[in-house]
Structure 1
Amino acid sequence: MARNRPDLDRSVPVLLVKIGRYPQSHSAVGVVRSFGRAGVPVHAMVEDRLTPTAVSRHLTGAVVARTTGCEPEERLLEAVRGAARRVGRRCLPVTTDDEAAVLLAEHADEFRGQLLLPPVPAALPRRLADKGELPALCAAAGVPTLRATAPDGREQLLETARSLGYPLVLKNLAPFSRLSRPAVGHSTVVRDERALLAACPDGTAGSVLAQEYLPDEHAEDWFTHLCCGPGGEPLVLFTGLKLRAWPPGGGVTTRARALPNPELAALAERFCRSVGYCGIADLDWRLDRRTGRYHLVDFNPRTGAQFRLFETAGGVDVVRALHLSLTGRPVPSGPQRARSFAVGQLDAMSVVSGLRHERRLPRDVRPRRGTERAWLSLDDPAPAVAETARFAVTEALRLVRAVRRGG
């Protein structure tokens, strides 16, 4: 449809840049589909040629680049340079992880001839992605956040827990360290000291953040996805409500709804202007219903996993807005479309978990009209098939490991 194809410069290709191994990435598939449907050539760094991203019919070229994020920096830079050379002309990079965003920002001058990058201050993405730095940045911007500390060892971790109280949220602290020495597998809620020491037996100095917890019965999870021009001016800004996640309480979003929220949009804009952010970002917020205050809990300086939930009535999402802006074309304004987002098997697992623990079906089990599906698409079915196969293998291996542990 015409509304889904804004006037992008098709002579400027896109390169999806990834660091680390996460082949089942629906954000990467979303980037490929968004540009491919608009007629823009899109290439992607992939783990192998059978990932869901690699088999998309909208992908122009796959570049196999196996990285873990633990390699020396020069090796990671060469992987990106090699991928850019494969594209063959200057291209616009889109990142789907914090490490890639940090690497490109800090080495922007070296990539100037190969990549078309937003003029973000070189050190800013690393600071924003570091959860220990975020409270100070929020305080300077006058934006609420939750109390949090990055403890230095076991004793400080226990002291922090006593200060903040239980339950407590544990998060991996910073880009790169979350891959080289992860403290937790994902954001984890611990409810007492025993659970805390089981999750972090040595205190994981320098790699974990301990954050205040807002009880689920008094909270809502919101996010803002945006693309900013120089100085933090939003080119597009979207707001939405998270309905479910997997694992529950701290995992990836599996069901969400786009909802206009002017108060939250104003907070996001204030923060981005304060720090001078430029580019695509995904901000996570937690609303305390008791006070009516939104707290910024994460700033991801890259494309968010559920970014395809959001699109203007004219077909502009955050990645298309970035392309329009950096190729010198106007970014059309317009209201965000009302729609939902669902992530296949993971959402089904979240529903089953909710049914088991709450003895009732969660809200929005049935897909609404206009739901954007992370995997299933009539015009691009292969990624859903590839994801189903990988999901089955992953779950089978997990079951085998559980049986062996039980034995």
Structure 2
Amino acid sequence: MPFEADRAVPGLIVKFGDYPLHHGGVGAIRSLGRLGVPMYAITEDPYTPAASSRYLKKSFVWPTTGTEDPDHLVEGLLRIGRRIGRPAVLVPTDEEAAVLIAEHQDVLAGRFLFPRVDPALPRRLASKQGLHELCVEHGIASPTAAFPQSYDDIVAFAEKARFPVVAKNREAFLRRTRPAVNGTTRIGTREGLLRLARDWGERPGVILQEYLPREDAEDWIVHAYFDRNSTPLAMFTGVKVRSWPPHAGMTANAYVVDNPELADIAARFIKQIGFSGVIDLDLRFDRRDGQYKLLDFNPRMGAQFRLFENESAVDVVRAMHLDLTGRPVPEGEQRAGHRYIVENIDLPALLAYRRSGYTTPHAPARASGTELAWLAGDDPLPFVTMLARFVRPGAKHLYQLWRTNRRGGKTSSSS
């Protein structure tokens, strides 16, 4: 290892909501734990894959939904900080956590370390409407979008729209009890849109977006860490080969692919908005007009971040820990051709993609190396725990997602 982390400063995985099979959290525990950094994590129960990692010093069992009163969540975080007993680097794994930390950073700063940022910015970036407005303001390409305020607005939109269109929850980072749509929903006809919209209430919380056909598009991802001056200390680009549900969900298989143009777009946008911290971006290259269109901005670590590591063994989580503890972040080229596989969802995704005939033109013919999301020779228990929890309910969940996808409702997540 060409660098040493500050082992006196622990890390804390912060997650709100019930999603125990989260490989990103396991990846972060391993990434810093292998450097000798003491790792802690908030978990739904004592039997999650993250809780079983050999690199986890202690799990704090705290079931949450992400919809609790913010003061309650802040107090819970502070209570955990007191139990850890020394300042810890916060590693949020969802938008709820990233937004909470940003909006309460003055209260949390005495107990934790995290990138300081405009308190309102992460919430705006995680919002579909807020992100679209920022893209327009700073000249970043994004899909054409409308933000209806009433059913009449939707009727007017339907008269002029070119179908299919895509509907998303406007405030997608909030896990509401009854969201307007189930993730990203592709709507094929005017009649279908009007039928769905009748259930969205007087003030529909949706964004209606142009559909970028997959036969004319490529899915790209950017992961990076930016310091307090919005300067990239670690920057990576890659292509998403498969996702689950197909073409609209969580990354199941991806490759590291050099793309200087895309890296420049991301770096320029981050500098313009003044963001600091880890980012996970989803962009779709539209071959029809030659533009990279920003679909999602996750102001936190992405679940597939372990795809990316530079020649100095730095990933975005390590870069953050090094920077926040006052240590230099070693530079290096990314591992072009490296592959990432999420074992429990890549097989069904592979079968679905073979049926559709879709391929990713920029994926290498042969991987230069492979990183598995769950299985690791030095830390096998998270994989075993995942299997034990996944087999029956996981298979049922995959089937439900597939059925939703077949009906035209596609759950989108870049995690």
Please state if 1:373 is matched with 2:372. yes
Counterpart in 2 of 1:85?
82
The answer to whether the Cα contact below 8 Å between 2:151 and 2:204 also exists between their aligned partners in 1 is no
Give the residue type in structure 1 aligned to 2:208.
A
Match of 2:221 in 1: 223
**1:63-212 equivalence runs, <5 A:** 63-174=60-171, 177-197=174-194, 199-203=196-200, 205-212=203-210
2:42 corresponds in structure 1 to: 45
**Deviation, structure 1 residue 396:** 5.7
Report what 2:277 is aligned to: 279
1:346 aligned partner: 345
Shift of 1:346: 0.7
Question: Contact 1:161 / 1:168 at 8 angstroms: preserved in 2?
Answer: no
> More deviation in 110-119 or 269-278?
110-119
Mapped partners of 2:214, 2:372: distance in 1: 26
Q: 1:399 to 1:210 in 2, by over 3 A?
A: closer
What's 1:405 paired with?
none
CA–CA separation in structure 2 for the residues paired with 1:365 and 1:199: 41
Select which of 260, 263, 270 maps to 1:262.
260
Q: State the 1:161 CA deviation.
A: 4.1
Q: Structure 1 residue 206: deviation in Å? A: 4.7
Distance 1:49 1:150 in 2: 42
- Distance change (3 Å), C-alpha of 1:370 and 1:174: same
1:197-243 Cα shifts (integer Å, max 9, x gaps): 56554235353222111111100010110111123211111111111
- In structure 2, the partner of 1:386 is 385
> CA offset at residue 134 of structure 1?
1.3
Output the amino acid matched with 1:151: P
Q: CA deviation at 1:175?
A: 5.2
Structure 2 residue runs without a partner (length 5+): 402-415
TM-superposed CA distance for 1:151, in Å, is: 2.0
List aligned pairs for 1:12-27, cutoff 5 A: 12-27=9-24
The alignment partner of 2:219 has SS state of strand
The answer to which of 117-126 and 148-157 deviates more is: 148-157
- The 3 A distance-change label for structure 1 pair 281 and 399 is closer
How many residues end up aligned between the 2 structures?
A: 398
Aligned-pair identity (%):
45
**Greater alpha carbon shift after TM alignment, 78-87 vs 235-244:** 78-87
Q: CA deviation at 1:121?
A: 0.9
User: Helix, strand or coil for the counterpart of 1:32?
Assistant: helix
Whether contact under 8 Å (1:351, 1:362) holds in the other structure is no
How far apart are residue 69 of structure 1 and its match? 1.2
Residue ranges of structure 1 left out of the alignment (5+ in a row): 403-407
Counterpart pick for 1:289 among 278, 287, 290: 287
Structure 1 counterpart SS, 2:258: coil
The answer as to whether partners of 2:164 and 2:187 remain within 8 angstroms in 1 is yes
SS in 1 for 2:379: coil
Structure 1 pair 227/203, CA: closer, same or farther in 2 (3 Å)?
same
- Report the CA distance between 1:354 and its aligned residue: 2.2
Task: Check 1:285–1:332 CA distance in 2 against 1; reply closer, same or farther (3 A cut).
Answer: same
Q: Deviation at 1:158?
A: 3.8
Secondary structure of the residue that 1:7 maps to in structure 2?
Answer: coil
User: Which one-letter code corresponds to 2:316 in the other structure?
Assistant: V
Bigger mean CA offset, 187-196 vs 222-231: 187-196
Quick check: 1:169–1:190 contact (8 Å CA) kept in 2? Answer: yes
SS at match of 1:135: helix
Whichever residue aligns with residue 199 of structure 2, its letter is D
Question: What's the offset of the Cα at 1:179?
Answer: 3.2
After superposition, give the CA deviation of every residue in 1:5-49 in whole Å (9 maximum; x if it has no partner): x32111100011111111110111111010111110110000011
TM-score for both structures, normalised by structure 2 = 0.90
CA distance in 2: counterparts of 1:274 and 1:66, whole angstroms: 37
Letter in 1 for 2:181: V
1:348 Cα shift?
Answer: 0.5
Shift of 1:148: 1.4
Q: TM-score, normalised by structure 1?
A: 0.92
